[in-house]
Amino acid sequence: MLARVLLLAVLPCSYAGLAQPSTVTAATYAGETSTADYPPSGATNSAIDSYFPDASQVGYPGPTPTGDEAEAIATAPSFPKVTSAFPLVEPNTADDKGETFDVLRYWGNLSPMYSVDSFGLPDASPLIPEGCGLNQVHLLIRHGARYPTTGEGPAQFAANIHAAASGPGFTVSGPLEFLGTWTYKLGAEILTPFGREALFSNGVAFRVRYGDLLKEFTDLPVFRTTSEDRMVDSALNFAAGFFEVRTYLEDYHQEIIIEADGFNNTLAPYGTCQNSNVESIGYYGDGQAEAWAAIYLQGALKRLQPMIQGYNLTITDLVDMQELCAYETVALGYSMFCDLFTEEEWEGFEYGLDLNFWYSVGPGNPTSAAMGLGYVQELVARLTQTPITVWNSTTNSTLDSSNVTFPLYQPIFVDATHDTVISNIVTALNFTSLAATGPLPTDHIPPNRSYIVSQIAPFASNLIAQVLSCPAAGEPTHIRFILNDAVMPLTGIKGCTEDQNGLCPLPSFISGMQERIGQIDFDFDCFANYTMPDPDDITDGRYPAWMRNDTAY
């Protein structure tokens, strides 16, 4: 609490009896980018390395009997919720609400994953329902916490501050005093140490919950990821947690699918969906979020501008500062930017990201279902153990037509992907409960909204499909989905009726998905020459059917 008291003491003095804050002339290096590389250059030395043999060379391992596999998802009396983000320092707010208001949960896709209470089935548990048996599990997991994407706002804000600090008249005071000596310590794109920890921990948790299914394998599992550094790193950290650090590379096959423009990849579908890369379509949510930011950050702009001279803050700067709070926290463990904003302003930040996702990669964008289509086709192929023969989406015919790189008979499937893709996929799966209160307005936060990005696609987000036999014998009969530890209602899928445990008969689900696949027109939604509807009332991730006749390719 001491740090929080000191920060409160330098707020503008609307509080009687507090001393006036000091004003600090910034160092000329303020805002500079600083980096560090490890291991040190030249540190690897084979002559020295020979002094440190590995465990297999040393020998003397002691007793090593192996126990049985865990299956806590079916045997435990309760499900452990994810409630903390150790070892991060939990942020405070400008109005000192940090002890009752969890800022970490208000960063949208930049939030660490936490257990969601409910998506509409408050009595459902991720634990296998009584009387059911677990036959198969499909895991779709997002990469862990990362540095900002190359060229994002935080780096530009740092460059702006550095330019101002290098000139005359730049001073800072009060809660902004730290900017006088602040440097930009964030890299770009790759996982942070916290991000690596989260994926390793997810691997451990997945082994504890679903490890018993390993006994059904007759060959090594094939897990998939994409070629981006953070994706490969996430997949390997997950595997190290799921298997065993010393042997995990020998325990499974890691498939790495190229992530680049022009390559079909269901885990990175935007590379072959043209309209998703058109500014006015694929990034439509940017404008909606900007309109909202101009409203919710007005108070912060008036409060913070007097604390910085020689630089005019903008609404964009304040959004960048809120992003810096999130990125610095997951990279460095703590950020001074967090305490600059009130509880209400953090709620506004979260809603801005909800708007961005809804209208860019969620139910409100006409390319979303098309980009999630390929994964849905792969899921149906795995569930029916039927090879894909129609290539009309982002499925990769080279990889998916091979039973080596796309096996159909595994008890466990693990695919690593991105936040935007998880949003695409839950849209393609027609999880209509997430879109129940949309479209989202840009002038206020609607009460009890159903679409909250921190619950859908945070860092290390996971979507799990449990294939079950109910009753617990014989062939699989049902399926259900669990998103960040909350069971999803499947009532948006034809044939899936309301069920308190989120269960849908497997044949009904497969039939409903086949119908959904037939409804999604990948070629039109990704390549037709159309403009966004105005107003954008889309809620199913598809371009409105009634507007298609007048649209040319």
Q: Read off the pLDDT of residues 145-188 as tens digits, 9 standing for 90 and up.
A: 999 999 899 999 999 999 999 999 999 999 999 999 999 999 99
Residue in the structure block whose two tokens are 């730290």: 178
Rounded mean pLDDT, 341-354: 98
Confidence of residue 490 (pLDDT cuts 50, 70, 90): very high
Model pLDDT, residue 552: 59
Return d(Cα 46, Cα 224) in angstroms, integer: 33
User: Phi/psi zone of residue 357: left (φ > 0), alpha (ψ -120 to 50 degrees), beta?
Assistant: alpha
Which residues partner with 483 through β-bridges?
463, 486
Tell the residue number behind the tokens 């990201």, with chain if given: 353
pLDDT tier at 551, thresholds 50, 70, 90: low
Say yes or no to pLDDT of 8 above 70: no
Of 305, 328, 327, whose CA–CA distance to 317 is shortest? Answer: 305
Nearest CA among 397, 426, 406 for reference residue 223: 406
Alpha carbon distance, N-terminus to C-terminus of the chain: 60
State residue 505 phi and psi, 5-degree precision: -55, 130
| Integer Cα distance of 398 and 375 in angstroms | 15
Copy the structure tokens of residue 286: 């940017």
Q: Residue 134's closest CA among 439, 553, 478?
A: 478
* Predicted local confidence at residue 553, as pLDDT: 60
Tokens of 16: 């009687």
Q: Is the pLDDT of residue 245 over 90?
A: yes
Largest CA distance in the chain: 77
Tokens of 397: 């015919």
Give the residue from 183, 189, 114, 120 showing the smallest Cα distance to 148: 189
Q: What is the pLDDT of residue 25?
A: 81
CA distance 135 to 132: 10
Check whether 30 has a pLDDT greater than 90.
no
What letter would DSSP give residue 552?
A: B
Residue 54 has pLDDT above 90, yes or no: no
d(Cα 179, Cα 309) in Å, to the nearest integer?
A: 12
Residue 26 tokens read as 């910034």
pLDDT at position 550: 65
Q: What is the pLDDT of residue 1?
A: 33
Nearest to 234 by CA among 113, 336, 368: 113
- The phi and psi torsions of 168 (rounded to 5 degrees) equal -80, 155
What φ, ψ does residue 480 adopt, rounded to 5°? -150, 165
